[in-house]
């Protein structure tokens, strides 16, 4: 069956299989190519006739993940200019009033797309929710602070996509007044930024943040240091005119070179304190303070404007940082002797390590390192944002704790995503061959329930009652105060605002 719906730009033809209708690669904005690469998004040109929407659309130009990460989650790369596109899965395009979920992918703001198999929205549509997944500009195109160009173009794309959802989702059976946004990693950080941004008012009712936080916003002067290095690598002036004259392959090559330089020489004097402290050697291009949609780190902005809070589910995996250190072999070099110096490299006082060792007497120095970095990069910032949001709306915190069957990775970054999407068959390179289906059924149902009517089955989180739902197998549970001694020691070592 090939149903046709009409949206603002024209008619599109999708495909229905097993009771789920999908419309793929639908442009929500004009192609950001040439000089337009560094402008605000504009509406997609209208088309005549019926546009086919049965295959995934283009993705923003990007480099593959390093081989060890690629082996776990693959890489993205569908060529084409119209990469500001959306995919829509719906139970019935002729319906009305269906709840809507909008997915914002991760990838450290330089990789990723809405075309990944583990982001397939079939299971959500099967369970009565319209699922929309969006692309946005990445890397230099989306986040470099360039003279003569608006900042945070990638976030502007996300806002533009949400306006597109508001204006068009009824054509797919969705309710524009019942939209929940959710995202993981850079997508989760984007969700936090959108909650805090005044421009998002009325575009969504609820939000879910997976493995992100609200602490990321580079100072403009620091971000310009990265841009200056990019321009030097390219032999151009750091202006929108010069950057706009280059193709995506040139931009990508310079982006890779500068990212490697930041990683190999994380000097705040060279790159800026906020780039090093907030990027942690993983990110060199990410949202920047712009006096527009990013007044500062989302947690600080939300704390000052609790009226912007929305009902929220937010959480992390138990072993986030192992994703970055185990496959790449970094942990192999962490011993009792090297642990203090490695922590110092990340700006962490080594005095925090004994507090973690006391709670984990059988853990190796590498496991202690990963536990500290998991809390520093993800969990502490997640709870800070939860605290800020709880001042204005119901907030629920979770931790995904089931460890993958792959050696050493534990409950690592990205692992919860195929469970959320109930797409375990697509994820064995990350989960191993026997992931627990009952856990996917549980967490997926929790997301569906929250998107449908805001219901959450575990208690709310507040600073005085810091409840955390721990998703695990064989059984999940709610912990009133999860690992408080470790978190207290970390906060004492590195106070957060």
For 278, 345, 379, the CA distances from 260, given in Å and listed in that order, are: 16, 16, 26
What is residue 497's predicted lDDT score, i.e. its pLDDT? 40
What is residue 347's predicted lDDT score, i.e. its pLDDT? 80
DSSP structure class, residue 460: P
Pairing type for strands 312-317 and 206-210 reads parallel
Proportion of the chain above pLDDT 70, given as a percent? 99
Are 316 and 464 in a shared domain? yes
pLDDT digits (tens, 9 = 90+) for 239-271: 999 999 999 999 999 999 999 998 888 888 899
What is residue 128's predicted lDDT score, i.e. its pLDDT? 98
Instruction: Specify whether 438 is catalytic.
Output: no
Whether residue 21 is predicted with pLDDT greater than 70 in this model: the reply is yes
Are 438 and 368 in a shared domain? yes
Name the average pLDDT for the chain.
Answer: 95
CB 171, CB 199: distance < 8 Å? no
- Would 76 be classed as within a structural domain? no
- Would 299 be classed as within a structural domain? no
What is residue 492's predicted lDDT score, i.e. its pLDDT? 87
What is residue 228's predicted lDDT score, i.e. its pLDDT? 96
Are 330 and 257 in a shared domain? no
- Would 352 be classed as within a structural domain? yes
Query: What residue numbers bound the domain in which 225 lies?
Result: 220-279
CB 379, CB 385: distance < 8 Å? no
Marked catalytic residue, from 320, 367, 399, 486:
320
Are 272 and 318 in a shared domain? no
Whether residue 1 is predicted with pLDDT greater than 80 in this model: the reply is no
DSSP structure class, residue 466: B
pLDDT digits (tens, 9 = 90+) for 368-427: 999 999 999 999 999 999 999 999 999 999 999 999 999 999 999 999 999 999 999 989
pLDDT digits (tens, 9 = 90+) for 94-119: 999 999 999 999 999 999 999 999 99
CB 87, CB 120: distance < 8 Å? no
Marked catalytic residue, from 105, 396, 413, 444:
413
Total domains present in the chain: 2
> 273 versus 113: which is more confidently predicted?
113
Beta strand segments in 98-185, E: 98-104, 130-134, 174-184
pLDDT confidence bin for 276, thresholds 50/70/90: confident
pLDDT digits (tens, 9 = 90+) for 444-459: 999 999 999 999 999 9
- Would 248 be classed as within a structural domain? yes
Whether residue 212 is predicted with pLDDT greater than 50 in this model: the reply is yes
Are 393 and 316 in a shared domain? yes
> What tokens appear for 446 in the block?
């929790």
- Would 345 be classed as within a structural domain? yes
CB 372, CB 352: distance < 8 Å? yes
Are 339 and 465 in a shared domain? yes
What is residue 34's predicted lDDT score, i.e. its pLDDT? 87
Are 234 and 367 in a shared domain? no
CATH number of 475's domain = 3.40.50.1820
> If you average pLDDT over residues 173-179, what whole number do you get?
98
- Would 198 be classed as within a structural domain? no
Instruction: Specify whether 413 is catalytic.
Output: yes
Whether residue 327 is predicted with pLDDT greater than 80 in this model: the reply is yes
> What tokens appear for 320 in the block?
């986030």
Are 252 and 318 in a shared domain? no
> If you average pLDDT over residues 44-67, what whole number do you get?
96
Are 317 and 270 in a shared domain? no
pLDDT digits (tens, 9 = 90+) for 464-487: 999 999 999 999 999 999 999 999
What is residue 495's predicted lDDT score, i.e. its pLDDT? 56
User: How far apart are the C-alpha atoms of 180 and 182, rounded to whole Å?
Assistant: 7
CB 84, CB 157: distance < 8 Å? yes
Are 274 and 342 in a shared domain? no
What is residue 281's predicted lDDT score, i.e. its pLDDT? 67
Region of residue 478 (left: phi > 0; alpha: psi -120 to 50; beta: else) = beta
What is residue 266's predicted lDDT score, i.e. its pLDDT? 84
Instruction: Specify whether 320 is catalytic.
Output: yes
- Exposed, middle or buried by CB within 10 Å (0-12, 13-18, 19+), for 247? exposed
CB 254, CB 110: distance < 8 Å? no
User: How far apart are the C-alpha atoms of 124 and 129, rounded to whole Å?
Assistant: 5
- Would 267 be classed as within a structural domain? yes
Whether residue 494 is predicted with pLDDT greater than 90 in this model: the reply is no
- Would 482 be classed as within a structural domain? yes
User: How far apart are the C-alpha atoms of 412 and 108, rounded to whole Å?
Assistant: 15
- Which ranges of 280-321 would DSSP assign to H, the alpha helix? 298-304
Are 382 and 316 in a shared domain? yes
Are 410 and 262 in a shared domain? no
Marked catalytic residue, from 185, 190, 200, 211:
185
User: How far apart are the C-alpha atoms of 172 and 20, rounded to whole Å?
Assistant: 11
Which residues are paired to 395 by β-bridges? Answer: 312
């Amino acid at each position: 069956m090939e149903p046709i719906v009409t949206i603002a730009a024209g008619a599109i033809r999708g495909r229905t299989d097993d009771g789920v209708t999908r419309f793929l690669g639908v442009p929500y904005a004009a192609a950001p190519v040439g000089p337009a690469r560094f402008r605000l998004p504009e509406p997609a040109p209208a088309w005549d006739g019926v546009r086919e929407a049965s295959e995934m659309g283009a993705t923003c130009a990007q480099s593959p993940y390093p081989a060890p990460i690629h082996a776990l989650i693959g890489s993205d790369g569908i060529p084409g200019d119209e990469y500001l596109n959306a995919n829509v899965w719906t139970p019935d395009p002729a319906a009305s009033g269906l709840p809507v979920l909008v997915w914002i992918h991760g990838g450290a703001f330089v990789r990723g797309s809405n075309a990944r198999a583990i982001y397939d929205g079939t299971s959500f549509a099967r369970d009565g929710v319209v699922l929309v997944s969006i692309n946005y500009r990445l890397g230099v195109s989306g986040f470099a602070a360039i003279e003569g160009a608006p900042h945070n173009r990638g976030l502007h794309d996300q806002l533009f996509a949400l306006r597109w959802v508001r204006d068009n989702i009824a054509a797919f059976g969705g309710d524009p007044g019942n939209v929940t946004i959710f995202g993981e990693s850079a997508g989760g950080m984007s969700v936090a930024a959108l909650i805090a941004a005044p421009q998002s008012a009325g575009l969504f009712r609820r939000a879910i943040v997976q493995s992100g936080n609200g602490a990321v916003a580079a100072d403009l002067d620091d971000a310009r240091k990265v841009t200056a290095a990019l321009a030097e690598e390219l032999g151009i002036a750091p202006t929108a005119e010069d950057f706009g004259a280059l193709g995506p392959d040139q931009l990508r090559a310079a982006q890779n070179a500068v990212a490697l330089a930041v990683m190999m020489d994380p000097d705040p004097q060279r790159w800026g304190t906020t780039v090093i402290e907030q990027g942690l050697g993983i990110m060199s291009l990410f949202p920047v303070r712009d006096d527009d949609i990013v007044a500062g780190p989302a947690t600080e902005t939300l704390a000052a404007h609790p009226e912007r809070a929305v009902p929220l589910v937010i959480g992390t995996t138990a072993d986030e940082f192992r994703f970055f250190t185990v496959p790449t072999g970094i942990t192999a070099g962490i011993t009792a002797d090297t642990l203090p110096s490695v922590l110092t490299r990340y700006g962490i006082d080594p005095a925090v390590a004994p507090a973690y060792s006391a709670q984990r007497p059988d853990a190796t120095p590498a496991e202690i390192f990963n536990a500290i970095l998991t809390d520093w990069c993800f969990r502490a910032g997640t709870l800070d944002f939860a605290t800020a949001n709880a001042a204005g709306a119901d907030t629920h915190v979770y931790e995904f704790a089931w460890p993958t069957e792959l050696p050493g990775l534990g409950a690592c970054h990205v692992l919860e995503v195929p469970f959320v999407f109930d797409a375990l068959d697509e994820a064995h390179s990350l989960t191993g061959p026997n992931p627990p289906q009952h856990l996917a059924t549980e967490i997926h149902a929790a997301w569906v329930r929250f998107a449908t009517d805001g219901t959450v089955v575990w208690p709310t989180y507040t600073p005085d009652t810091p409840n955390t739902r721990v998703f695990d197998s064989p059984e999940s549970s709610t912990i009133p105060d999860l690992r408080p001694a470790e978190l207290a020691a970390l906060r004492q070592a590195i106070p957060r605002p």
